[in-house]
Structure 1
Amino acid sequence: MIRRLRAQLATERRVSAVIREELDKRAASMNQELELLAEANSQNKEDKEKLETSQATIAQLSTVSNHLAIQAQNLQAQWQNVEDEFRQYRLQAETKIRLFENDVRVLIHENANMLNSMQAMHEEELEEDLVEAEGAMEATGAPGDGEILE
């Protein structure tokens, strides 16, 4: 009976050793899983912090984008005003140029008329002077045809 008990005890010890090995393996495996979970949790915290930082950056970029959109609209309105003013200035300048061109044409026409009038008056004066000179020559007895000059 003692032998049987000793054999049973030895069997129980072997079974216990096998169970202990299995439990040690499971404990080691669980420790590894806990470490992995701890790392994952740490990674999740880092990811959460990165996510929060990204969201803050996105909010800031959205604010900047809205500000730039408003500035772009303002600049576009200013550019439109400048274009409108330039068009008005150009139309005014073209109108003034047309008026000046018309004035120049009128002045050229008047100048031509005045030159024609002056030329006609000069020709009349020459004719009058010629008539007077001929009359004066006849009155003074200028030598004519058939008279001998001495």
Structure 2
Amino acid sequence: MRLKLTMLAIWAIALSGCQNLPNAKEGANRNVVFLKATHCLEEPVGDQDRIHFGPCLKITDINGEAPTVRSDGFIELPVARPVTIGTSCVYRHADGTPIPATVGTAEFQVNSTTFPEGGQRWYLHAHEQARGVVGCQPTLSTSVFPTRKTD
């Protein structure tokens, strides 16, 4: 019985989390995309049954102004409009806490063809992969996972 209640609770939490994501139809109707305001990379480490906490990226400004972040953690951006996105990146210790000495900044240029259609969710990664990298080199993706696996 306890297992059934636990599974039901997990399912309810997962369902409510999915319902909080931006609605693709809403974005397509208004010709906007949704860009995650803060995103951290992580990657499983081989057979060691542990997670490597990679760098985190935070969007600090859009064209020099503070972004408006929705309650679901996404920023709305118009399709086919060039913007400059300011970012801040920080690497993390094994326990997930930030390493202040690793903070870096970078700009990411969006051109008129970067977002081909409205309604999609996008993520700026601090780098292509979660391990073995330094610096802040924003990489745009529709996936929450690193662009390249380290292993």
User: What TM-score bracket applies, with the shorter chain setting the length?
Assistant: under 0.3
Kindly name which structure, 1 or 2, has the bigger radius of gyration based on alpha carbons: 1
Q: Which has the higher contact order (CA 8 A, sep 6+)?
A: 2
- Larger relative helix fraction: 1
Give the TM-score taking structure 1 as reference length: 0.18
Give the TM-score taking structure 2 as reference length: 0.18
